[in-house]
Amino acid sequence: MPEKTGPRPLECYRDYLRVLARAQFDLRLQDKLDPSDLVQQTLLRAHEKRDQFRGQTEAEFAAWLRQILANALAEAVRRYTARNRDVGLEQSLGAALNESALRLEAWLAAPQPSPSEHADRNEQLLRLAEAVGRLPEDQRRAVELHHLRGLSLAEVSEHMGRSKRAIAGLLLRGMRRLRQLLDEDLS
């Protein structure tokens, strides 16, 4: 039986949503909006509409929050790039956010988790998102683009304006630091 969604405060999902928002943030919006603003909008909308959530599990709640974030991202792209309502854009952003969430969850994958393992996994997922947010900026960006957005080393290199070798170093150091942060949290 899946675990019931308890009275977990929305604030617990801030880092998780921030990681996903940064991973899918449209570069055309960089000078106009910060991903943290989108997360704040998402949490505010979720608070206002919490009574509309019809699921029962933490996973369903996280998916509901991702959909609200996808809508906020699509709205920002339309507002700042003068695009009209584009259902395809909203669907593609929703799919991209779900793919990033799956990549994040894959780091914690366990075959057929029991209900208690599933609850532990949700806690680990939130800790992982918080730890990613604590990485140095360049390492965090490289890890998000490569591991969460699924970009190749060459694509990350182009996005960040650095050599592939420099990106490989950032990824290596970022993943090491991420392991350290997660180990510290368990201690």
CATH 1.10.10.10 residue ranges for the chain: 134-187
Neighbouring residues of 20: CB distance < 8 A, sequence distance ≥ 6: 66, 69, 97, 100, 101, 104, 148
**In the predicted structure, residue 86 carries a pLDDT above the cut 80:** no
Rg, the chain, Cα only: 17
Check residues 106 and 21 and name the one with the higher pLDDT.
21
Query: Cα(22)–Cα(144) distance, rounded to whole angstroms?
Result: 7
Averaged pLDDT of the chain: 79
Residue 171: what pLDDT?
94
Q: How far is CA 84 from the centre of its chain?
A: 26
Neighbouring residues of 34: CB distance < 8 A, sequence distance ≥ 6: none
* Mean pLDDT score, 154-176: 94
Residue 97: what pLDDT?
64
CATH number of 134-187: 1.10.10.10
> pLDDT for 96-119, tens place per residue?
666 767 666 666 554 555 556 656
Query: Cα(169)–Cα(157) distance, rounded to whole angstroms?
Result: 11
Residue 9: what pLDDT?
83
User: 62 and 16 in contact (C-beta within 8 Å)?
Assistant: yes
pTM: 0.65
* Mean pLDDT score, 166-181: 94
> pLDDT for 58-73, tens place per residue?
888 888 998 898 888 8
Query: Cα(141)–Cα(138) distance, rounded to whole angstroms?
Result: 5
Contacts 24+ apart (CB under 8 A), 25-28: 25/73, 26/73, 26/76, 26/77, 26/81, 27/159, 28/77, 28/80, 28/81
Query: Cα(77)–Cα(133) distance, rounded to whole angstroms?
Result: 23
> pLDDT for 27-51, tens place per residue?
667 667 888 888 999 999 999 998 8
Query: Cα(74)–Cα(68) distance, rounded to whole angstroms?
Result: 10
Query: Cα(54)–Cα(67) distance, rounded to whole angstroms?
Result: 14
Residue 89: what pLDDT?
52
